[in-house]
Structure 1
Amino acid sequence: MIVREARPEDLETIVDFQVNMALETENIALDPDTVHLGVKAVFTAPAKGKYYIAEKAGKVIASLLTTFEWSDWRNGTVIWLQSVYVMPGHRGQGVYKGMYRHIQEKVERDNRLKGIRLYAEKTNVTARKVYEKLGMTSEHYLLYEWLKD
């Protein structure tokens, strides 16, 4: 398996992954056209984030999005992992772990990067166990949000 930055030709695969992920994890049917525009926006405006994909035998099997949070406390950037999706037939085989380690190594090599954060749906116990197994903790902060419909 290789982990690499996504390229524009990966756009449709990432859109499919996001639509599938929302349905699987939150039972939300996303509008594919809206998701297409959202994914495309990341490729056209890199300050919004960066997608990474995992490939096995030349086939894209997973993706995730990194976004950036400025931390004045740390005088650096914290990487947020979002939109994580691993194809069902490849789950439980260390795919996410490989992607996480790829990002973690980038953070360790760059003094401007200070850490990694993510949020998980409270009911997604499987994902939460994976994150904890990789050494992430949920004890520090609670996430609050307001989203308009």
Structure 2
Amino acid sequence: MSRVRPAKFKELEIIADFQAAMALETEGLHLDKEKIILGIEAVFEDPGKGKYYVVTENEDEVIACLLITPEWSEWRNGTVYWIQSVFVKKEHRGKGIFKELYQYIQNLVKEDPELVGIRLYVERENKSAQAVYEKLGMNGEHYKLYEWLK
């Protein structure tokens, strides 16, 4: 039985804590928790924005999460899932937890003809995450991400 499942609204605080910890750990950013909570609530209220998935241990302890957000691709006439907001509790890292999440999402894509792929972005300095993604068969050779944020 898979330990991966869609997140429940009651897990919002856990997801918010994970996101604050991830931002601090990977980018040295201290995020406003209230803003994070509002952002997560918006996803639960509008599934068109995305969907959270969690990994549980002992059936109820959330040990990891990620967010998928859809992007329409006219070139592929289908939707690409972007993986975002990945977090695995430190004590569970290196045990294949992200691989479990990734394979779950990959299977969703394989089973739905309207879904055509998976993308994610990673901080340039996050070499350990890049190694994990490459080991799963992803590559970062095709695009370079640029952004402007208000």
Question: Same fold, TM exceeding 0.5?
Answer: yes
| C-alpha displacement of 1:137 | 0.3
Q: Structure 2 counterpart of 1:112, which letter? A: E
Match of 2:144 in 1: 142
* Alpha-carbon distance in 2 for matches of 1:38, 1:105: 27
Query: Which 4+ residue blocks in structure 1 deviate beyond 4 angstroms?
Result: none
| Structure 2 length-normalised TM | 0.97
Letter aligned with residue 145 of structure 1 = E
Pick the aligned partner of 2:61 from 59, 62, 67: 59
In 1, Cα distance between equivalents of 2:54 and 2:127: 23
Aligned residues: 148
Deviation at 1:14, TM superposition (A): 0.2
Q: CA deviation at 1:18?
A: 0.1
Choose which of 119, 131, 134 in structure 1 pairs with 2:133: 131
How many percent identity over aligned positions?
56
Structure 2 residue 117 is the aligned partner of structure 1 residue 115: yes
Q: Supply the distance in 2 between the matched residues of 1:86 and 1:111 (Cα, whole angstroms).
A: 29
| Match in the other structure for 1:48 | 49
* CA RMSD in angstroms, aligned pairs only: 0.6
Counterparts of 1:1-149 in structure 2, within 5 Å, are: 2-57=3-58, 58-148=60-150
Whole-Å separation in 2 of the counterparts to 1:2 and 1:86: 13
Where 1:48 maps in the other structure, the secondary structure is: coil
Find the residue that maps to 1:81 and give its secondary structure. Answer: strand
- TM-score, length basis structure 1: 0.98
**Unmatched tracts of structure 2, length 5 or more:** none
